[in-house]
Amino acid sequence: MTRTDPRQDETQRSGGCLRGCLITTLVLVVLLVVGGIATYVGGRAYIARNLPEWQARYPAIGIATSLLQLREGLTPPEAPVPGAPGRQEGVDDRALLPEDIPVFGQAELEAYSISQAHITAYQRLAEPYDAVLDQMRASMLGHGWELAGEEQALQGLVMVWIKGERDCQIEVSTHDGATELWLRCSGVD
């Protein structure tokens, strides 16, 4: 019977363990990289498909993606969201609102997209729902708009107003204890 040196056995075993650990680490790194790439590619498409619905349901998502300039990164230009209209450019400047489009003076949160072709405004208000609704009705009538229709929405009311060739949709709703006001109006072409 041949005896081997015990130091040689220990060296062979530790070399095997080191190789096994390196292989396991390499496999984990490869899986993480491939998983990250798949999530980035597949996840962007998923977000791009669902972003319009999420923005409609939770307006703060739309504001956050705009403020953080994430929309372009989430929706690649070569793959537009199916069924969604093209993005309309506008300026987030309350001072550019036409005088006949009323909004509240103090808002907890607000965002605007104003251009010659369209006006979009969002305000999150501390005022009660009924007070916001009453003030918007009175302000629109006072600025010469005619109420074309009202419809109950999930958590509020949608009003459609007409003035000459222009139209304005106003949505007043409640969300998380606050009143939310959305205005989507045609511009002053």
Domain co-membership, 97 together with 177: yes
End-to-end CA distance of the chain: 101
- Map residue 141 onto helix, strand or coil: helix
Predicted pLDDT of residue 116: 85
Task: Let me know if residue 167 belongs to a domain.
Answer: yes
Average pLDDT of adjacent 10-residue blocks, the chain of 189 residues? 56 67 90 75 68 70 62 50 57 86 87 88 91 93 92 86 91 88 81
Task: Let me know if residue 82 belongs to a domain.
Answer: no
Phi, psi of 96 (to 5 degrees): -85, 0
Tokens 């550019």 belong to residue: 96
User: For the domain that residue 164 is a member of, what is the CATH number?
Assistant: 3.30.160
Domain co-membership, 98 together with 170: yes
Signed CA dihedral, 47, 50, 54, 59: sign only: positive
CA distance 169 to 184: 5
Q: Whose CA is closest to 161, among 173, 172, 149, 171?
A: 149
Residue 57: CA count within 13 A, CB half-sphere: 5
- Give me the number of domains the chain comprises: 2
R_g of the chain computed on alpha carbons: 29
CA distance 183 to 189: 17
CA distance 139 to 1: 104
- Domain of residue 51 covers 7-65
Predicted pLDDT of residue 153: 78
Predicted pLDDT of residue 15: 60
> What does the block give as tokens for 97?
């609102």
Predicted pLDDT of residue 79: 44
Task: Let me know if residue 181 belongs to a domain.
Answer: yes
CA distance 160 to 11: 82
